[in-house]
Amino acid sequence: MPTRSSADLIVIGAGVVGAACAYYAARSGISVTVIDRGAVAGGTTGAGEGNLLVSDKEPGPELELALLSVRLWRELSDLLPPRIEYEAKGGLVVASDEASMAALRGFAARQERAGVKAEQATVDQLRDLEPHLAPDLAGGFHYPQDAQVQPALAAAHLLRAAGGQGSGGVRLRLGEEVIGVLTGANGEVRGVRTASGDVRAPYIVNAAGSWGGELARLAGVGLPVLPRRGFVLVTEPLPRVVRRKVYAADYVADVASGSAALQTSAVVEGTPSGPVLIGASRERVGFDRTLSVEALRRLAAQATRLFPVLAGVRAMRTYAGFRPYLPDHLPAIGPDPRVPGLLHACGHEGAGIGLAPATGLIVARVLSGGQLPLDIEPFRPHRFDAAG
């Protein structure tokens, strides 16, 4: 029988990806212990905007994962409390000139062939969708499948729901850092070691987000997860000035870039509680949380370029977070053949909140022997090895 010091599965990381893994595993009848050195959603999840996007993804494995997650988030929104602030409000990608608009048309056409709904919007239609947008834009595309949640609340309520899953269920061990991975005579997982003692389980899931590379090293394998810092500006509470998630076409290129240098491309969205959130910046500076005035200056300028009305609005605060970056921009999901019993669910970069349900479902299906919802070969954790 599972106890406080034993379980069928240990999930390392209490962010939204770890919470989703715990939720779907518990629903499959698996007993789960979730361990985190901090609080629920205390890392990348707590610094996220809550994006659930298909609009920024090229056709391919990540888009397939996103389309599955969009469907799962809709299901979860009916099961979890309204306090997760799920909004199927859609996204709007806008072009500043005709060249950008032509590129958007090609991008949207490829996405539509892969199952994405993309509706072209003329200049006049942009004003109907977002009355406060700048008047000199060339057009855009509306993506009705894009949505948003409050990420910290979503993680917390997924874990709460997982705790009531019958013979499975979840135990939380917060404020405990994993300092070692326990293995057997043949190198197979036997559990983890924390400062408070050992926790036994035949399977562990690395859902440690930006720290996923460090956790992999404890298990004796390489996974090149690097932190990619980003800032978000938060305005004073406003009437619903911004109805959807709105961003310029160059955001897609920034997401796909591997550059370590500072990149900014404004993503502007309203929230049910009133403040407008303004992201997104990207730079690889390790785990340095130092405030970047230049990043904030660029974000503010780009946001007011899209929404001139924001020029007279006060920014009340800013916060930083670290996206878990992998070199090919695909997460590591599934079993690691180098260490039997080790699974990974990390490296989602800025899409972890959106991709969490599909990731959790895949992990649960792997553990329970169920049918996988899609091909997970592109996400294999050992693909960065010379022979992977």
What is the pTM assigned to this prediction? 0.94
| β-pair type (197-200, 189-194) | antiparallel
CA of 170: how far to CAs of 19, 23, 137, 178, 197, in Å? 10, 8, 50, 18, 18
Degrees, nearest 5: CA angle 187-188-194:
95
| β-pair type (32-36, 9-12) | parallel
Whether omega for the bond prior to residue 155 falls within 30 degrees of 0, making it cis, is no
Q: Residue 117 in 3-state DSSP? A: coil
pLDDT given for residue 255 in this prediction: 61
**336 near 348, Cβ under 8 Å?**
no
Residue-wise pLDDT tens digits, 169-200? 799 999 999 999 999 999 999 999 998 999 99
In the chain, alpha helices (H)? 16-27, 61-79, 98-113, 123-129, 151-162, 212-218, 250-256, 293-306, 352-368
Which secondary-structure segment (H or E) carries 248? strand 245-248
Q: What are phi and psi of 100, to 5 degrees?
A: -65, -40
**Tokens 């987000």 label which residue?**
209
- Identity of the residue numbered 236: E
Task: Give Cα 131 distance to the centre of its chain.
Answer: 29
> CA 161, CA 163: separation in Å to the nearest integer?
5
Q: What are phi and psi of 132, to 5 degrees?
A: -95, 5
Q: Closest Cα partner for 265 from 277, 275, 255?
A: 255
The DSSP symbol for 314 reads P
Tokens of 136: 């000199």
| β-pair type (9-12, 147-148) | unpaired
CA of 384: how far to CAs of 40, 54, 80, 256, 329, in Å? 30, 26, 37, 18, 12
- Domain architecture of the chain: domains with CATH: 9-50+151-224+328-384 (3.50.50.60), 89-142+226-325 (3.30.9.10)
* Rg from Cα positions in the chain: 21
> CA 331, CA 164: separation in Å to the nearest integer?
29
Give the bridge partners for 34, in sequence order: 11, 172
pLDDT given for residue 197 in this prediction: 95
Task: Give Cα 346 distance to the centre of its chain.
Answer: 9
| β-pair type (139-143, 189-194) | unpaired
- Identity of the residue numbered 311: A
* Residue-level pLDDT, tens digit, the chain, 388 residues: 455 678 999 999 999 999 999 999 999 999 999 999 999 999 999 988 899 999 999 999 999 999 999 999 999 999 998 889 999 999 999 999 999 999 999 999 999 999 999 999 999 999 999 999 999 999 999 999 999 999 999 999 999 999 876 556 799 999 999 999 999 999 999 999 998 999 999 999 999 999 999 999 999 999 999 999 999 999 999 998 999 999 988 777 656 556 778 888 889 999 888 999 998 888 999 999 999 999 999 999 999 999 999 999 999 999 999 999 999 999 999 999 999 999 999 999 999 999 999 999 999 999 999 999 999 999 999 999 965 5
Residue-wise pLDDT tens digits, 211-259? 999 999 999 999 999 999 999 999 999 998 999 999 988 777 656 556 7
> CA 335, CA 332: separation in Å to the nearest integer?
9
